[in-house]
Amino acid sequence: MKRMKVKELLAQEPGQEVLAKGWVRTKRGNKNVSFIALNDGSTIFNIQIVCDVAKFDEELMKQIGTGACLAVKGRLVASMGSGQAVEIQADEIEVYGTADASYPLQKKGHSMEFLREIAHLRPRTNTFGAVLRIRHAMAFAIHNFFNSKGFNYLHTPLITASDAEGAGAMFQVTTLDLDNVPRTEEGKVDYSSDFFGRQTSLTVSGQLEGELGAMALGEIYTFGPTFRAENSNTPRHLAEFWMIEPEMAFYDIKDNMDLAEEFIKYCVQYALDHCADDIKFLNDMFDKELIERLQGVLKDSFVRLTYTEGIKILEEAVANGVKFEYPVGWGIDLQSEHERYLVEQHFRKPVILTDYPKEIKAFYMKMNEDGKTVRAMDVLFPKIGEIIGGSQREESLEKLEKVIAERNMDTRNLWWYLDTRRFGSAPHSGFGLGFERLLMFVTGMSNIRDVIPFPRTPKNAEF
């Protein structure tokens, strides 16, 4: 007999013989009848297995505890209990794997902190089942969106010798013997004997190579892991996170903003359409405003304003008695509290902030006529703050070389990037969406560690 997934089973008409496989969520009952809630990850819902205890071996019944894995053959019947339309009247049960009393997910209502300590098992909870199914659906939606627009999925390298964002927070990649590091005559590490013959790191962004792709294929996107060694222990930062980075030839900042807005709305709509059961569960369980917030984002156009205008609003707020932990003034790098004030208090909808001071943004952004600001755009979201960072790119070789010199950057690692400006340069733009930040928004999870299966954060690389 062919196994049917729980999701399929729950949609079947009663009357047929079926085979279900899955893990026991709960078992209750009395000495005559046992009710087992079985889940196989295909849906948030369980299928109820009803066992006439007299029909089964006593030893077997004892083995069926929370966490055990079973195969159950039986008849699908209309359920008399509330909560499900059908259930399985069990005829045969095979126990694939028992789980004894030390199984940590015995009772409901574990804290998120505790579940992080058992990240190898937490996918078996309702919450993480829902989150991981939504994560899958969002990845699929993202590929759908760009594919339907004719973008090419470009695989950019994870190991790199360049620091795209210039933040310097990179993980080194080396095969040198760290107990016996080779040295140059000046006493520096001699990377010429390292694997790549030079110093390399894990990438913080696929953008620079993405730009090379856009200058040939027109429109590309990347979707892969990126790595940042910044020591920020916040609910919004991971050391390893996934980023989607579209890069488009012939797009200016306005086209870039339009694409970003359409893209996020598509993802949110996709989640509402395809993950309704999981989102409803998360809404009821953790965040009663989740569905409302998701629908809210779809309804309105995102507010678009300049950094300078944003700072004015924040300064007025301070003058009117609003307290921020960090000071406000033109030139500051906005903190999450500032971003969230604009989005949640002032406008009450997503905001795209543009034209930031050049000093707080990366070298590749296009300079505005004022010589002080660059054509950057950050998309700010309720509960999250920055969800997207992007810009129009500087296409002038001369201006780009000037900025690189001003910042004392090492051009030896960037000659190939500069070649795009040397040969057939074109106006172009792009942005990066933090996949886990999107998932925080869509699931309502308040900690980024809870939207990725196995989070990497400072002092934490278990599992």
Q: How many CB atoms lie within 10 A of CB 62?
A: 10
What is the residue type of 427? Answer: P
The least distance separating ligand 4AD from the CB of residue 380, rounded to whole angstroms, comes to: 9
Q: How many CB atoms lie within 10 A of CB 12?
A: 13
Q: How many CB atoms lie within 10 A of CB 34?
A: 18
Nearer Cβ to Mg ion (389/455)? 389
DSSP 261-317: HHHHHHHHHHHHHH-HHHHHHHHHHT-TTHHHHHHHHHHSPPEEEEHHHHHHHHHHH
Nearer Cβ to ligand 4AD (190/252)? 252
The least distance separating ligand 4AD from the CB of residue 248, rounded to whole angstroms, comes to: 11
Which residues contact residue 326 at a Cβ distance below 8 angstroms, ignoring those fewer than 6 apart? 332, 335, 337, 338
Q: Determine phi and psi for 224, rounding to 5 degrees.
A: -165, 180
Q: Which of 67, 132, 70, 75 is nearest to 96 (CA)?
A: 70
- Candidate ranges 114-122, 138-146, 354-362, 381-389; the one touching Mg ion (CB under 5 A): 381-389
Tokens of 4: 């049917």
Nearer Cβ to ligand 4AD (8/386)? 386
Tokens of 53: 């205890």
Nearer Cβ to ligand 4AD (39/361)? 361
Of ligand 4AD, Mg ion, none, which one does residue 444 interact with (CB within 5 to 8 Å by kind)? none
Beta pairing partners, 65: none
387 vs 236: CA distance, rounded Å: 10
Q: Which residues bind ligand 4AD (CB under 6 A)?
A: 164-165, 205, 207, 228, 237-238, 241, 243, 245, 386-390, 430-432, 434, 436-437
The least distance separating ligand 4AD from the CB of residue 427, rounded to whole angstroms, comes to: 15
Q: Determine phi and psi for 280, rounding to 5 degrees.
A: -65, -40
Question: Is there binding between residue 389 and Mg ion (CB under 5 A)?
Answer: yes
Nearer Cβ to ligand 4AD (44/141)? 141
Nearer Cβ to ligand 4AD (184/234)? 234
For Mg ion (CB under 5 A), the number of binding residues is 1
The least distance separating Mg ion from the CB of residue 172, rounded to whole angstroms, comes to: 23
The least distance separating Mg ion from the CB of residue 376, rounded to whole angstroms, comes to: 8
The least distance separating Mg ion from the CB of residue 168, rounded to whole angstroms, comes to: 15
Question: Is there binding between residue 390 and Mg ion (CB under 5 A)?
Answer: no
Question: Is there binding between residue 430 and Mg ion (CB under 5 A)?
Answer: no
370 vs 161: CA distance, rounded Å: 33
Interacting residues with Mg ion (CB under 5 A): 389
